[in-house]
Structure 1
């Protein structure tokens, strides 16, 4: 009887959820940064993901009487309503009257005169953990500008939804561009705060002055923390599934194949009219703020519906199979070979595919580089792995 009672009590105890401390974002650590901001002139690099509880960071800081002077907007704009690659104009925020300076287009780096009335430049943008997602390039250039202007550069850290994955080829210097500035894998498995620390520590900035970097890390976060983004980080990554599939589908952007821009499920499908790559049909159409003139506009594509796919990380199986099908039908696949090489950070991947290597064989090309990177980044990690 007593043994049965012990078992029952044990079962009851095991069914009671243990108390788990909630995640605290860098922007939510106001008790630490608000006193430091007192009397300082502040510039913000933010977009629609820059939230503190139910408020935008801009509104939150203004309500706390912080002297916010201006806002810098990355690709997709301050409110996240610009298509990928679309020109983002300088403007003024209707709600606050603050000037909004674009950091996408011809002005990717804050100019000295744009920082002359700033003491602290704060970066608070949700990233997705990929080298070619341009928010980290914006952060890099802003760090350089802040160092040159002799002002502080702060990063309010946020989770990386792909933090569990470190994979893909490392960028080689000849292929450095705004869609890849750092010698890191496609999936680097770091938060923006960790990456900023690494950028400084490895001397990747061109500035002659050391950046006055300060990272406000998260509390109760680790490499095993599952975090579902509450706000889409950009118009064509509307949900968690798109974010998970983005690494494996983005290379299609350099080919004639559509990844669903101009549909309700971008980066969750891929297809082409002929050759047909599957039975699923979709027809891209213009979508305001997301795809003004999508690839295959008005043309029905046939391919795969990946909305229920379990693929995670970096997998080129679909890409290599599509190349083989195009080659079999004597159709050009690498529509923009140099753009593909910039996304990959190397021309070795394209050349290996052209030589007939399988997706499994391709993986061997970067394994040693990834292992070396894991050792290199170790001292910059802010959270348990």
Structure 2
């Protein structure tokens, strides 16, 4: 009888599986990670890839915690903040489904809604700052974009209140409302650019094989390329299958995204876009029109200000990325952008936009300072809930 080949056993690492907004992901305390994964680098990325179940040529992530969509292939690492006047440092990793890399180039606005709740429940907030009842204000430092985010988390009898009657389109069940404030959401510090990196509210974007498109390219919440739906043959009322089942459409949007990334200075050559899937986002906008959402809900034109559809990690998002919602609200507040023109132009401090799962309201007020547009804050309401907590297991030699 031949000797059995020895295999390294699995290790278990404390983790929490959470929903935040219309996304879900695996949350870790930095100090709970294996020691060699506590610093950015190859070991951390390999560990998170194995946790989520990537890369998976089958595109299913069966052997991991991922859900085979951009909204469910996510990881979060949190620690007590090293920055003054902040409670928690927040790191977000978007895990590629079919490729061996983790994209650290931007934030996840949806999972931001769960950061405060996790931080409170996992001892990352000073006890003196946590009320027994009422609202706990959690000051979050997003380390990748160098921005402050404030989460207002409801508390009941000393514990995070997760259940409630707040309904969020794209999420089946109601929960407690968590208000999120993105402070100074424009001008991504890591990218070193302004709110409008090209210097223009609207540009002519040349896209090989497609033509020249009008585009608003903005750094707010997350770098985003906005185009007009009609210029690419859509109405702005499309649902996921209309785009995601069309390989030619997906390829077209990826080409637009790559060209936008180049114009925004995020990459030096369009070939680099394939290794930067998380940013920028590409979205198409249109004036409000009636449509039926993916859940069968009738969305009336007179109940929304515009329609927006956005792609994330190469696919049309089932609802709307939270960071892209910040970009939408910011762009809508600035007269002359494509988003602002889609809502009819003029000054405004909030918009409600239609997305594949329903609608969402986001507020943002823009002012001009020294000839430049400035947005001090963008606000939206989300919800969050713990789905499972305990340990995640991975083979000990996976990283």
TM-score, with normalisation over the residues of structure 2?
A: 0.28
Higher relative contact order (CA 8 A, sep 6+): 2
Structure 1 or 2: more strand by fraction: 2
TM-score, with normalisation over the residues of structure 1?
A: 0.29
